């Protein structure tokens, strides 16, 4: 958790799926990342993963490590309610 960042709920995250709002957000290990400008997330999908959700549990199926998140600056903390 980064106390310098605002808090985002799962409902707010879900709206940033590349369809409902112009931003594309994903969450991983309690942090929310804005991936709007990533060519890999342009349509709100990345292979079989969808934006607007917490991808923490899905990383085990990915061909990369969580080091990929170092390319993005976290924008918020995820609050699971």
Given a cut of 90, whether residue 43 has pLDDT beyond it is no
The answer to the question of residue 12 being in a domain is yes
The answer to the question of residue 2 being in a domain is no
Contacting residues for 77 by C-beta, under 8 A, at least 6 apart:
1, 2, 5, 6, 7, 8, 30, 31, 32
The answer to the question of residue 65 being in a domain is yes
Domain count within the chain: 1
H or E stretch at 14? helix 10-14
The answer to the question of residue 56 being in a domain is yes
The pLDDT value given to residue 14: 96
The boundaries of the domain holding residue 34 are 7-79
Question: Rounded to whole angstroms, how far apart are CA atoms 25 and 15?
Answer: 9
The pLDDT value given to residue 54: 95
The pLDDT value given to residue 26: 96
Average pLDDT score over residue span 1-5: 89
The answer to the question of residue 1 being in a domain is no
| Residue 25's CATH number | 3.10.120.10
């Amino acid at each position: 958790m980064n106390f310098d960042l605002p808090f985002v709920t799962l409902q707010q995250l879900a709206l940033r799926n590349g369809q409902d709002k112009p931003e594309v957000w994903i969450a991983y290990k309690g942090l929310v990342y804005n991936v709007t400008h990533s060519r890999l997330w342009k349509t709100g999908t990345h292979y079989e993963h969808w934006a607007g959700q917490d991808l923490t549990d899905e990383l085990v199926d990915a061909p990369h490590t969580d080091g990929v998140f170092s390319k993005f600056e976290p924008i918020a903390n995820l609050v699971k309610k």
